Amino acid sequence: MQPQRPLSLPAIWNMSFGFFGIQFGWGLQMANMSAIYEFLGASESAIPMLWLAAPLTGLIVQPIIGYYSDRTWHRHLGRRRPYFLGGAILASLALVAMPNSSALWMAAGLLWVLDASVNVSMEPFRAFVADLLPPAQRQVGFAMQSLLIGLGAVLSSALPWLLTHFGVVGAGSPDGGIPWSIKLSFYIGAVVFMVAVVYTVVTTKEVPPEPAAAGEGAKPPGSFFVDVWHGIQHMPVVMRRLAVVQFFTWLGLFCMWIYFTPGIARSIFGGTPGTEAYQRGLEWGGVCFAVYNGTAFGVAFVLVALANRGVPAKVLHRVGLLCAGVGLASVGFVRTPELLLVSMVAVGIGWATILSMPYALLSNAIPAQQMGFYMGVFNFFIVLPQILAATLLGPVVEHLLGGRALTAVVVGGACLIAAAAALSWVPEDKPVGAT
């Protein structure tokens, strides 16, 4: 790669804007998939297993896309942009199809397609920042991604509630199935996903690889598996220790994503699937998700400013994880819907750092020519705890927690506090090649 030049904040905004669309689609998935499964007849204990699509596709897709995007060069689209665009097209089609699922198996299958497509778009964006920004600006670049992720997630999480309460669509659905507010939100999400990614593709050009790097694609068959195994064996120390932090972080987050919305719909609103109280709980869950994402959006501005002032990423991340852990644990003691918003503000502070600071720490510790691959492998430490949660949370909630979904959310808060403690063992290394 040629030496990176410092970029202006507007240029960093342009190169990150596609993440707004990616997060818009992902935010709709996070806030609504448990409800869609229940509308199609899934029991609460079965929901975690139905979520397995998300982590499994990430485990498989991201390292492959990272590896091949390191070795790709298209004279018109460059290195990472072909993957952004292909993933956006497939994800947009899946978003249109998802709320029209007529059976549980169909929704579960479409989640596999949607999550694989989101991963194809998402993984190269992490490497994109490190490709185009010098090490001194990478923390700013990832903080900008966090800002746009927060904006996309706020709008997508609150969209069903906004559409209902501003009279765009009526409450519920004529056939008693998936509400119109959720269906229309997914259609809007498909358009936003596509437009945002195309904006980045059009406004940001990539740097051509050096001749030696461009020729790396001509490796013999089978080199992929050899390279992957070799790369995993020689992971940098920073990456190995961040793995522990990521494990506890994403275990805690998955507890929230699976059980928060149906948990408050049952425990705080007193509803069951199909009742008006349950739908009000689901919509309020979307508002809560919008609040934590909105907080992350606001905090991201602060992160950009602090990163520019040289505040270490590890310090910012530790504060964020502690706030998120306390906020999530407090959900188990809340009895009124409005107080949930206070808890979600604390979660949002942590979410802003989770989306940016681990990647800032990692990007300066891995070789530039393997940036995409290692960003993909780093995803292992996000999806493995999610797989663990998806397979074990159902039985744990049913048999050990007495079916109380909100107790699982409290356990998630404890996991985030453990992640903050584990961060103490992560060194803040100099960029690879620095003296």
Please report, for the domain that includes residue 368, its CATH number.
1.20.1250.20
Whether residue 214 is contained in a domain is answered as: no
Task: Specify the pTM.
Answer: 0.71
Whether residue 50 is contained in a domain is answered as: yes
Whether residue 434 is contained in a domain is answered as: no
What is the structure's pLDDT at 213?
A: 46
Whether residue 410 is contained in a domain is answered as: yes
Cα distances from 341 to residues 107, 293, 295, in angstroms, run 30, 11, 10
Phi, psi of 396 (to 5 degrees): -65, -45
Q: Which domain holds residue 250?
A: 9-205+222-425
Whether residue 432 is contained in a domain is answered as: no
Whether residue 42 is contained in a domain is answered as: yes
From first to last of the 435 residues of the chain, give the pLDDT tens digit: 444 678 888 999 998 999 899 989 988 887 788 778 888 888 766 777 777 766 777 778 878 888 888 888 888 888 889 998 999 999 999 999 998 888 888 888 888 888 888 888 887 887 887 788 888 788 888 888 878 887 887 788 788 888 887 877 765 555 557 788 888 999 999 999 999 999 999 999 887 766 544 444 444 445 667 777 777 788 888 889 999 999 999 999 988 888 888 888 878 888 777 787 887 887 788 788 888 878 888 888 888 888 778 788 899 999 999 999 999 999 888 888 899 999 999 999 999 899 888 988 888 788 777 777 888 788 788 888 878 877 887 777 777 776 677 888 888 999 999 999 999 998 865 554 443
Please, are residues 323 and 194 in contact by the beta-carbon 8 Å criterion? no
Q: How far apart are CA 46 and CA 51, in angstroms?
A: 9
Q: How far apart are CA 415 and CA 410, in angstroms?
A: 9
Tokens 């990647």 found at: 359
Per-residue tokens: 277: 């109280």
Residue 66: name the closest of 80, 82, 81, 86 by CA.
80
Whether residue 102 is contained in a domain is answered as: yes
Domain count for the chain, please give it: 1
Whether residue 213 is contained in a domain is answered as: no
Which conformational region is residue 366 in: left (phi greater than 0), alpha (psi within -120 to 50 degrees), or beta?
A: beta
